[in-house]
Chain A
């Protein structure tokens, strides 16, 4: 069981974002998608949970073709997929506890006591003990991201999708989040897809790294393979050298 995107095309109006995007993520692995801002990394990720539908191509998650699922089947699938949003996307009108417990309430048979126990557990995992009664507006950026992570992992998903989990965080918090991502994989066996343009972070957490460029995957490999590649675009990106990127295009 894994995540597979096969020749996905997606355009918004005139703008072609994905042009034949294909990617395999094997079970139990963490894959980072790197690439410049606005190249469509988030778009690709949103296809995985059916937030966006491909214009053409197929998206398979856990052996199911996402684009042909009915609404009910899609919601069922989403219980197995946690999504960590770029700006956490916590519900402003609810406390952290309620935010984290949202997904759990949809699972039949969960009592309020069981939900609150699980919420506490998740908050502990992201190091937010005692913040449960606060509202998102009362948290810092890093705390919000961690709360978003706690919400994503609450339902014990098999897949976790991270949309820039460390962007805009200080190095210490970044390290904490990275550790969490690693722990998710090693302790819970979660399959992860991480969108990032923080290369240090990508090298730290990934089993594999893929670079999205010009609407498709330009390069895919282990962190070592990425470090040793001669691909000018990849090198230009990881070394922060725009001159290489320009030559390549």
Chain B
């Protein structure tokens, strides 16, 4: 064994270890020398966020998620992140856990809560406010799949409700329902705005979607008119005609659902998963019409209205996110 061969063995080992170690550290994005600023985000749920994912502030990557641990009391998840840049974060900072793209990579974005008044940021317990490390509350954007799941849950509940006791149709529920329809209108407007803005990206998709959305808007306007009629009738307390009008309203709702289902089909990627839930809604409306149970029975249970509102609110949030970060979603429609 000559000296040269020995040196060669040593060289290969050193080179290989260097490739392994340096390559790993480099790809993991380890920063040498610069101090890291720790921060913790408390969220009720992290969805698909994993250690190593990016932490973003105003669109700029400023750090990485280091650990994710469920709190001992099981009520929240503590996401520890290390910030590489020295940045002054807003006083009302909150963390938004959201997909970075549609390919399964997630990120934690640090935002000013005032910008997202509708997000329910997790309330940081008092204990944490005195800790060395800054702890902020976070909110996890619902996934499309979850939305579908909750819509399904609601439709199941609806089906159950129609078989329950017959109760009076009261003013409160009517108001809830009309608020829900208001929401549909608002959402529809937002979707149309978004699609208009993305017209350059997917022109053909947009054309279809746009007309569909117009229809939705009209339908829901019609629905609202019917509900106003319902309300009027309520104040007159004429139950028989209420039921007649309810029939009318149900027809309108069905139309809305049908249009929504169609337009969902057009929007494919983004709205595909909503399609089935609306289809289900459609089925339920059909059930209602066929006289199995009465609408009054159904609407008396205000939990339905609240839940429906919840779904619509989530849908609204999602669409808002869609509007703010269209790149996350719109690519999918090009498939």
In the complex, is A directly touching B at CB under 8 Å?
A: no
Chain B residues proximal to chain A, CB less than 8 Å: none
Chain A residues proximal to chain B, CB less than 8 Å: none
